Amino acid sequence: MKLEEFQRKIEAIYFEKDSRRGLAGTFMWFAEEVGELSRALRRKERSELEGEFADCLAWLSTLASIAGVDLQQAAMDKYQDGCPRCRSEPCACEEPKKA
């Protein structure tokens, strides 16, 4: 399944409910899901990680749909030439120095 197909699938399942909630309310659910992903990353349990990554992608997709953004096109426009800053693959940007 391509990213565009995934976004349309998530729209079919959740768009009506998520759009009624609105962008701000849906973003709060997305932020909560990212917190769950953070916990799963600390636990390093593969099945839990897969589920949380999938949930984050679904919430990100629904946010993009509510905002009228084609997630696949946006990603291609920004990253098809490599790093948006240095245009290299892999990125050759210098890491910022920690204070």
* 18 assigned to some structural domain: yes
Tell me, what DSSP letter sits at residue 16?
A: H
pLDDT in tens, 39-49: 999 999 888 99
* 90 assigned to some structural domain: no
* 96 assigned to some structural domain: no
> Domain tally for the chain?
1
pLDDT at 97 over 90: no
DSSP 24-76: HHHHHHHHHHHHHHHHHHHHT-HHHHHHHHHHHHHHHHHHHHHHT--HHHHHH
pLDDT at 62 over 90: yes
* 97 assigned to some structural domain: no
pLDDT at 67 over 90: yes
CATH code for position 68: 1.10.287.1080
Q: Is the pTM of this model over 0.85?
A: yes
pLDDT at 60 over 80: yes
* 94 assigned to some structural domain: no
User: Which residue range forms the structural domain that includes residue 15?
Assistant: 3-79
